[in-house]
Structure 1
Amino acid sequence: MEYTRLGDTGLEVSRLCLGCLNFGSGQEWMMNDRDGSIDVIERALELGINFFDTANAYSQGESESILGEAIDGHDREELVLATKVYFGMGDGPNKQGLSRKHILDQVEGSLDRLGTDYIDLYQIHRWDENTPIEETLSALDHLIDEGKVRHIGASTMAGWQFSKALYTADIEGYERFSCLQPEYNLVDRHEEANLLPICREESIGVIPWSPLAGGFLADKYNRDSTVPEDSRAETDEYTQRRFTEENWQVLDEVRAIAETKDSTPAQVSLAWLLHKELVDAPITGPRRIDHLEENVEALDIELTDDELSRLEEPIFPQWPVEGKD
């Protein structure tokens, strides 16, 4: 396993982060298998992965509790645990968003489910239009002062929102976001025109989610074939919207390059991200141990400048894009 620093912090993380969205129940595409989920996490630890990303809203806390059970007994100082707050955790008022009350309430639940005294990276899952960013940053700053959180990060939002959060932290003396979690992969490159230039300028760590585009870049689908049963695209309209001609052209190049390297499309797609200087650790979400092992082997794949250009040529990044503004 290779390791790197997260942004400009001193925190050392594995070059691949294990995403824990699939470790839970409630959707057909999830693992729906607690023991099997723990097996995947334990194999990730054996492979040298020390960075794990989850969220309180993933299966309403089930993902966090599975991760907490799996890491019990391991050296906590070697692990980097990341989780998130924003989405609803029940009915009624004050059960969602980024208010001071919701953040301080929810961090306690996350700590309990993870079985830890502190969270290495606590992230806002989305932007909250109904709460002043000053209130959110103040609450996060308090958690750092209390020792319950070590670093803070953000996820999907518009560039102006992220810039406002960084500026507000600077002028008010609050802790800055040190990490950003954007959607970023070979067919979803809109963040190159939105958040990534800000991250480059501000030395923010980047940990992309959906590095394989919901399985599209793992070669799960074909132009002229029906969607496989039990795949995410069977029920997920978001994944189905990736079935565009320019995206198929990208996948054609991925397949061609993978064949020349005796590798898989998933490995080539991950290797492209790992070649991006801004990217610290793509968040992979395998449901099977063999897929996890396949992902880790992407670290050994070298791509030439010509190959990188071939992979990128079909798409022109732009923001906003439909469904993401």
Structure 2
Amino acid sequence: MKRCLLILLCLSGLSGVIVSPATPVHADAMPVSKLALDAKTGHVYQEENASTVRPIASISKLFTVYFALQKIHQGKLKLTDTVTAPENIASLSQDSRLANVPLQAGKKYSVRDLLYTSLIHSANSSVLLLAQKMFGSQEKAVKQINHQAHVWHLKHYQLVNVTGLNNDLIGDLRVNGTPEDAENKMSAKDVATVARQTLSHYGDQLLSIASEPRVNFNLLGSFPTENRMLPTQPDHFDDTPVDGLKTGSSEGAGNCFVGTAKKHHHRVITVVLGADYANKDQVFQITHQLFTTSFQKIVQ
């Protein structure tokens, strides 16, 4: 059955998408998914429900960040390159329900501004425009994301847009052939693979951005990080030197976080999916416990 589904999706131009057969449920109805592993070796220090496929919200943006860093490394993209905001993306940037920075239709924005606001502030309009710059259309961007998921041997995933938003929130930016209410889904294990791959290839560049507490944007002031575990942030722990990576949050996904920290000469990656949506601190408290357990095992 799964093989047939893949064939049908390849014919539709979205090769590699695997749609979870599970009936959608609210995040609170599912046990939290937790995973902690060594970034270099992949050794797992702790896991719970790590194979459960579930919404990942804005953690999805890591794919587009990966491609941007890759193209910069290859000399195919520069931080100073610009792209003009179309009306539909500019309009979405004004949606007060969503994490965003305000864009104006017809105005040019630099790759640097879009990359930094995508990763630090989780700006949906920024990641859409960045994907548009790199691939020419949302359809091509999503196709490339699914191809990369296949290359990385991800097991079970549904990747329908670059933002991680539910399709019903992005209007005509929805990719043709994807359901109106679809959203990106992965397991904690697969999220860890995405983070691990991105860190292994472009770790220095990635962390230099992800560790910033704020991002200045287009003379409009600065926008705060969504990572509350960084130094000076509300959920920072002195014994856990977190320097990344990406948050995600929605009613369907709950609060999600893929984090990373280096201690005792080991870099650890943690993934928490489906923490309490109403409690912003819980996902970071769980993450702290994962880091604590991992670093204790490292020194034993």
TM-score by length of 1: 0.29
Higher relative contact order (CA 8 A, sep 6+): 2
Q: Rg bigger for which structure?
A: 1
The structure whose residues are more often strand, as a share, is: 2
TM-score by length of 2: 0.30
